Chains A and B, each alone.
Chain A
Amino acid sequence: MAWYVKKDIAETKHVRKTLWVKCKRCSSHIYESEWKKNLNVCPNCNFHGSITSKERIELTFDKNTFKELYANISPLDSLKFVDLKGSYKDKYEANKKKSGINEAVVTGHGKINGIKAVAAVMDFRFLGGSLGSGTGEKILRAANYALKNKIPYIIFSESGGARMQEGVLSLMQMAKTCSGIALLNKSNIPFISVLANPTTGGVTASYAMMGDINIAEPYAVIGFAGRRVIEQTIGEKLPDDFQTAEYLLDHGFVDTIVNRKDMKDYLSNILSYYNR
C-alpha cells in the first residue's frame, strides 16, 4: 500500500557547480532555470516533474483569491515510530522546516478564472506526499467545507500512498477521506481528481480514483501496487508504459490527460458546466 517513489532527488543535482535538473523520464539534463520556467516540465519529453503545493496553487487559482484553511493541522507521532534512521517525529519536524508546510497537503478555497472551488493540494516534499492522519483530516475538512458551501472540490494528488509511520491510522484515512467524498456524491457536489506523478498505493485506492472526473498529468505514474512488488510476484519485467497516465487512459480509468500549462483553463472550463 505504502510505497515510495524516489524521484525528485535526482531532479535537482549540482553538476559541475551549475544547477541542472535531470529528467526522470528521458534523462536529459536541463538548466534548472529553464526547467522552472517550463513549470517543472521537461522541454525535451514533456515529463511533468514535481511542483510544490504553493506553485500549483499559484498556477491554478486567480491571483490573491486562495484562502488557506486548516494550516494548523500537523502530524502526531502517536505510535512512537522508530526505524533505522530515527523517529517519525524527527522526520516530520525536519520536513516541516524544509517545506514550510505542516502536512503533506495544503487545503483551502479560491477562484479559478472567476469560478469558486475548494482544493486540497498534496505536496510530495512532505514525507513523499504520504497520507497520514493530519493529511486525511485536512482532506475531509475541505470536503465538508465544499459540502456546506456547495462548491466543487478538487484534489491534486502527488503521493506515494499511505504513511507507514502511522500504521493502520493511515490506512483508515482512506475510509475517512472517502466518507467525505461519499457525502459530496450524495449531494451532487462535483469532485475532480487531478493525478500527478506519482499517485500510488492507498491514495490511488481511495479519493484519487473517485473523481467524478479524473484528470492525469502526462506520464504520471498512477497505480496501486508498486512496480517492484509486481515484478517480484510475476517474475518478469514490466513494460515501460505500465501504470502511466497514458496506460490508465487506455484502460478507462482517467478521463483525460492535460498538460500543466493548460490545467487551469481546463478546470475552469469543466467547472463552468456546474449548474447548481
Chain B
Amino acid sequence: MTTKSNTSTKDAGKKGPKPSSNTAWKTVKTSRHPERPVLQDYIELVFSNFIPLHGDRFYADDPAIVGGFAQIGDKKVMMIGQNKGKTTIDNIERNFGMAKPEGYRKALRLMKLAERFNIPIVTIIDTPGAFPGIEAEERGQAESIAKNITEMAKLEVPIVAVVIGEGGSGGALGIGVGDKILMLSNAIYSVISPEGCASILWRDAAYAPDAAKALNLTANALYKLDVIDEIIEEPAGGAHTDYNKTASSVKNAVLKNLKSFENISTEELLNLRAEKYAAMGKFSIDN
C-alpha cells in the first residue's frame, strides 16, 4: 500500500542478513521506472477514437481513473484504466494513479455502460494501490472496491485486464476481475507493496527486495501460479526503451484475447469466469 521507496537502513545490522537485490526487485524498479509508458501513452498508441467519460454521478470525477469508449484495431470497447502522470505535476494531479472511491464508482458506471452497449471491457492496471487517505475511507474505499469486484463477477460482457506497470493490491483488483488477465513482462502484481510487506514481516522497509522476492509478484511467477493468462514480452531493455514496440505487443495481445470471446454465449462467459476465480488459490485438503 505504501509507495515510499526510499527506505531506512538504520537497523539493518540487527535484523539478520542484509537486504539483498534480486531479479524480482529489479522488476519492481523497472515497473516503477519514471519513463515507463503510462495509460496516456497506451491511449495514444494502442487505441483510437477515444471518447473519455467523466464522473461517478455521486460525488466527483477521479482523475486517477480514466475511461471511455475506444477502438482497438477493428474492435469497439470500453477502456478503463489507472492513470499515473508523466510529470510530477501531472502525477500530483492524478494522485499517482491511486484512485479514491469515486474512481472505482466511475469505473463501475462505465462497466455497466459497456454492458448496456454490449461491448467488451479492457482495463489497464497501473497503480501503487487505492488511495490511503481520510476522505477515501470516509467515502467507503473498501465498499467501492468490494462492490466492483462483486459486480464484475456478474457483468455480461467479456473483460480483458492488462497490468502495464504496478498492480497494487486491492486498488488494482478493483478494476482487475478479468476473463483474461495479461501482464507486461516487467509489470508487478502484489497483495501488498514490497515496502509494506517488509516493514511488517521484516520490521524494516529496507528489506523490500527480500519481500519482493518472497511475494512472487513478477509476471513469470504469477503465470506459474495460474493467476495470469498471458505474459506480454517487453523490449529487451524494458517498456520505456521502445514505446511503439511495447504498444504494438499490447495491442496484438488484447485483440487476440478479445477475439477469443467472439463466439461465446453470455451464460458460458459467466460460467467460465466463475470457474476461473473459483480455481484461484492453492490449499491442502487433509483426509
Task: List chain A positions with a Cβ less than 8 A from chain B.
Answer: 1-4, 72-76, 78-79, 81-85, 102-103, 132-134, 136-137, 140, 162-164, 166-176, 178-179, 181-183, 185-186, 201-202, 204-210, 222-226, 229-230, 232-234, 238, 242-243, 251-253
Is the Cβ of B203 less than 8 Å from the Cβ of A84?
yes
Please tell me which one of the listed residues A73, A164, A232, A242 contacts residue B284 in the complex, with CB atoms under 8 A apart.
Answer: A73
Is the Cβ of B200 less than 8 Å from the Cβ of A3?
yes
A136 to B191, CA, bound (A): 14
Is the Cβ of A178 less than 8 Å from the Cβ of B214?
no
Is the Cβ of B141 less than 8 Å from the Cβ of A225?
yes
Please tell me which one of the listed residues A74, A75, A229 contacts residue B132 in the complex, with CB atoms under 8 A apart.
Answer: A229
A37 to B108, CA, bound (A): 46
Q: Which residues of A contact B173 (CB under 8 A)?
A: 171-172, 174-175
Is the Cβ of A229 less than 8 Å from the Cβ of B196?
yes
Which residues of chain B (177-222) have a CB below 8 Å from chain A? Answer: 177, 189-192, 196-197, 200-203, 207, 210-211, 214-217, 221-222
A154 to B202, CA, bound (A): 35
Please tell me which one of the listed residues A74, A103, A209, A230 contacts residue B137 in the complex, with CB atoms under 8 A apart.
Answer: A230
Q: Can you list 12 residue pairs at the A/B interface with Cβ under 8 Å? A: A1-B1, A75-B283, A76-B284, A132-B281, A162-B169, A164-B197, A166-B281, A169-B281, A206-B145, A224-B145, A226-B132, A230-B137
Q: Which residues of B contact A84 (CB under 8 A)?
A: 15-16, 201-203, 207
Is the Cβ of B191 less than 8 Å from the Cβ of A2?
yes
Please tell me which one of the listed residues A137, A171, A175, A232 contacts residue B283 in the complex, with CB atoms under 8 A apart.
Answer: A137
Q: Which residues of A contact B154 (CB under 8 A)?
A: 182, 185-186
Q: Which residues of A contact B176 (CB under 8 A)?
A: 175
Q: Which one, B25-33, B72-80, B81-89, B270-278, is touching chain A?
A: B270-278
Nearest 8 A-B pairs (CB), nearest first? A133-B281, A225-B132, A134-B283, A182-B153, A204-B142, A1-B169, A78-B282, A172-B280
Q: Which residues of B contact A183 (CB under 8 A)?
A: 153, 274
A136 to B151, CA, bound (A): 18
Which residues of chain B (131-157) have a CB below 8 Å from chain A? Answer: 132-134, 136-143, 145-147, 149-154
Count class of interface residues, chain B: 35 or more
Please tell me which one of the listed residues A75, A167, A207, A225 contacts residue B190 in the complex, with CB atoms under 8 A apart.
Answer: A167
Q: Which residues of A contact B147 (CB under 8 A)?
A: 209-210
**Known interface pairs A79-B216, A202-B170; A164-B278 also in contact (CB < 8 Å):** no
Nearest-Cβ distance from residue A205 to partner chain B, whole angstroms? 4
A205 to B182, CA, bound (A): 23
A164 to B169, CA, bound (A): 11
Q: Which residues of B contact A132 (CB under 8 A)?
A: 281, 283
A238 to B146, CA, bound (A): 24
Verify if B130 is at the interface (C-beta below 8 Å from A): yes
Please tell me which one of the listed residues B196, B217, B222, B277 contacts residue A179 in the complex, with CB atoms under 8 A apart.
Answer: B277
Is the Cβ of A74 less than 8 Å from the Cβ of B283?
yes
Q: Which residues of B contact A76 (CB under 8 A)?
A: 282-284
Given contacts A4-B200, A73-B285, A182-B150, 10 further A-B contacts (CB under 8 A): A3-B1, A74-B283, A136-B281, A167-B215, A172-B173, A172-B277, A179-B150, A179-B277, A182-B151, A204-B142
Is the Cβ of B283 less than 8 Å from the Cβ of A133?
yes
A132 to B283, CA, bound (A): 9
Is the Cβ of A173 less than 8 Å from the Cβ of B284?
no
A232 to B201, CA, bound (A): 19
A166 to B287, CA, bound (A): 23
Is the Cβ of A173 less than 8 Å from the Cβ of B141?
no
Verify if B286 is at the interface (C-beta below 8 Å from A): yes
A170 to B197, CA, bound (A): 14
**Known interface pairs A72-B287, A179-B273; A229-B138 also in contact (CB < 8 Å):** no
